[in-house]
Amino acid sequence: MVNGFQRLGARALAIAERFGRAFLFLLRALAGMPALVLRPGLVVQQLYSVGVLSLVIIVVSGVFVGMVLGLQGYTTLLNFGAEQSLGVLVALSIVRELGPVVTALLFAGRAGSALAAEIGLMKSTEQLSGMEMMAVDPMNRVIAPRLLAGFLAMPLLAAIFSFLAILGSYVIGVGLLGVDAGAFWGQMQDAVEFREDILNGVIKSVVFGFVASWIAVFEGYDAEPTSEGVSRATTRTVVYTALAVLGLDFVLTAVMFG
């Protein structure tokens, strides 16, 4: 019994210590960001690998999620004779929830895991130590640009996802199932508010981008410098990001719409 409590206490302390380390790590990385103004090339390079290279999965997923939502929404609304309101249903679901959440989950799987693995491998092959010995701080040269690129890329990817998902549902609803195009766009325009819906969705995507990028770079930097350690860090990045995004989504939804 006592041993059980001891183990529990030790585990809780280890988790608290890890949180503290992650927070200090974030502060150091944020401190390195102002200097990036002088070297925008570093951020652009990371924006390409974190953002542009994630486009394929975001575009394809966005279109398919929109098409499925259009199909499901239409069959459900048809029961109530409200199929002309498909545009509202799709837009609100995507802009408020699915856009930021699904993009963040995809971002964790594509960009987050790549970031964690890259940084973890740099650590295990002594590239980060080598940089330190060349009097170059890896926090400024490696971590800060990747973190900033993640912050910037995620809201843009979420916007692209939402746009394409609405387009996908339009193709299914209007193109295939016969919903009136005017009703689709008109009702959407009436029901979706800029501040209440779009801005809150953007805030969500910014928060998720911040958390997903932070978890990815921290897990990579904190990885044990072995192949097993890097593999664990990559897995942890995806799992922790998914849990954090879903948990934060509930909190943010309760605050914004509750």
Interaction site with another protein (CB under 8 A): 121, 125-127, 129-130, 132-137, 141
As measured in angstroms, the least distance from the Cβ of 8 to another protein is 23
Q: Which is nearer to another protein, 190 or 228 (CB)?
A: 228
For 119, residues 6+ apart whose C-beta sits below 8 A from its C-beta are 128, 142, 143, 146, 217, 220, 221, 223
**CB nearer to another protein: pick between 224 and 249:** 224
* Contact in structure between 169 and 73 (CB atoms under 8 Å): yes
Min CB(245)–another protein separation in Å? 29
CB nearer another protein, residue 109 or residue 225: 225
Whether residue 176 contacts residue 71, with contact meaning beta carbons closer than 8 Å, is answered with no
User: Cβ 38 to another protein, closest distance in Å?
Assistant: 12
Nearer to another protein, 50 or 86 (CB): 50
- Taking the C-alpha atoms of residue 90 and residue 96, their distance in angstroms, rounded to an integer, is 10
Q: Measure the CA–CA gap between 36 and 130, rounded to whole angstroms.
A: 21
Shortest CB 241 distance to another protein, Å: 24
Report the C-alpha gap between 183 and 84 in whole angstroms: 6
